[in-house]
Amino acid sequence: MTDSSCSECIKGTIHSGQPKGTEELIHGLNTYVIGNRINPRGIIVIYSDIFGLALPNNKLIADAYAASGQWLVSTSPSAHWCKQRLTSLQVYLPDFFHGDPVDLKVADALLPVDAAAQSTFAKYTGILASMPTFLMWRTRHKHADVEKTCIDFLSSLRRATPDKKIGIVGFCWGGRYAIRAGMAQHQISINNTATPLIDAVVALHPSNMVLPDDVMELVVPVSYGWGAQDIAVSYATRGKIEKFHEEERGRGKRVPEMKHCRYEPGRHGFAVRGIRVMRGRGGVWRRRRGRPWSGWRSGFRWDWVEIVSAEFIFAHCV
């Protein structure tokens, strides 16, 4: 791990300071590793947005997941009490882009420091200016190759740790491939039994989805996080997925647990920017302003979007 990460931080990271993990070669990919290496209760794999390991936020998100595994606070909806739950996780953030993420210069347009204060003119001119860079990048990262890289890594991980629960969290670009990793077609044989590559999926503002193809034949639980004001990932996508799965159930097909969370205002990139949230009426998560609440341990914050999604992973993988 180099010292350049801290100096290159764009504003709006979920925590200040240096990422605490290390970069290592894991199952053929350069991977940021943090957490329990000896006897983890579970494993979380992060499929980042298009900025990959170059964006410090992504490493800090991995650190947040590892920390959440050390001290998970569970709050009763009917009473104001909390209890500690000690566990331990290992977190992997692989470089699925083979050292070729989108240039961080584009981050200013796609992940602005304050999206609410960004003018419409600045927003759209910034996006237009970044399009050539992104389109050229996509020609080097075609769907079939991208998916193979992800599936190969997860297959190797599952075979190497058959007794461990594995959850995957995908952000934006990575959300689509996190979901697809939970398809029946990607199961592998372990002890002559068809075994899913992962045990649970969280997809936060998943982009570039092809429906219904990307949500067909899922065999593991999935939690989706949607932004109400996301200009890149339409909130209407949620309804399309829900309708498709309802039709599948109507035809007698088994559909695993599908959870949909709405975040407000939920502008694009809200999960990567590390926006603090609090639960509002109707189960809607809204941006929390002011000083974040600290849990049992001084300075430890439980209201990050990432921690909300971590609860779903814990429910199925620990």
Distance CA 300, CA 289 (A): 17
Query: Among 11-15, 173-177, 280-284, which stretch is predicted with the lowest mean pLDDT?
Result: 11-15
Q: Report pLDDT for 118.
A: 46
Q: Report pLDDT for 279.
A: 54
* pLDDT tier for residue 282 given thresholds of 50, 70 and 90: low
Query: Among 5-19, 76-90, 145-159, 273-287, which stretch is predicted with the lowest mean pLDDT?
Result: 5-19
259-260-266 Cα angle (round to 5): 150
Task: Specify the number of domains making up the chain.
Answer: 1
- Evaluated on CA atoms 194, 195, 200, 201, the torsion sign reads negative
Residues 6+ apart with CB under 8 A from 109: 123, 126, 127, 129, 130
Q: Which domain holds residue 39?
A: 4-317
* pLDDT tier for residue 137 given thresholds of 50, 70 and 90: very high
Higher-confidence position of 6 and 145: 145
pLDDT digits (tens, 9 = 90+) for 182-234: 999 999 999 999 999 999 999 999 999 999 999 999 999 999 999 888 888 99
DSSP reduced 3-state for 83: strand
Residue 3 is which amino acid? D
pLDDT digits (tens, 9 = 90+) for 166-186: 999 999 999 999 999 999 999
Question: Global pTM?
Answer: 0.82
Report the CATH number that the domain containing residue 277 is assigned in CATH.
Answer: 3.40.50.1820
Higher-confidence position of 303 and 136: 136
- Which of the 8 DSSP states describes residue 31? E
- Half-sphere exposure of residue 52: CA atoms within 13 angstroms, side-chain side: 17
Q: Report pLDDT for 186.
A: 99
* 90 pLDDT above the threshold of 80: yes
